[in-house]
């Protein structure tokens, strides 16, 4: 599970890098740039959710080990 989460995080980071290349910094809120910004925000949300899931899994494992 750990490697699967890390793989998904790396894919999300790759999507962030790709979307940064699509942004037109002259007009970042027009055309394809807004789509790229939405993609960046979505990838950041995915990373945040995966990190929270990973931390929750670690806490659950520690609680189960104490029983």
Contact 41, 50 (CB under 8 A): no
According to the model, what pLDDT value does residue 65 have?
86
According to the model, what pLDDT value does residue 13 have?
98
Query: Positive or negative, the Cα torsion across 51, 52, 57, 61?
Result: positive
Half-sphere exposure of 27 (CA within 13 A, CB side): 3
Q: What is the pTM of this model?
A: 0.88
Q: Where are the domains of the chain?
A: 2-58
Contact 43, 19 (CB under 8 A): yes
Q: What is the pLDDT of residues 9-66, one digit of tens each?
A: 999 999 999 999 999 999 988 989 999 999 999 999 999 999 999 999 999 999 998 8
């Amino acid at each position: 599970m750990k490697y699967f989460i890390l793989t998904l995080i790396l894919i999300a980071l790759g999507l962030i890098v790709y979307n940064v290349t699509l942004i037109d910094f002259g007009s970042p809120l027009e055309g394809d740039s807004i789509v790229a910004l939405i993609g960046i925000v979505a990838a950041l949300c995915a990373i945040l959710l995966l990190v929270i899931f990973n931390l929750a899994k670690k806490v659950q494992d520690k609680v189960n080990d104490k029983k």
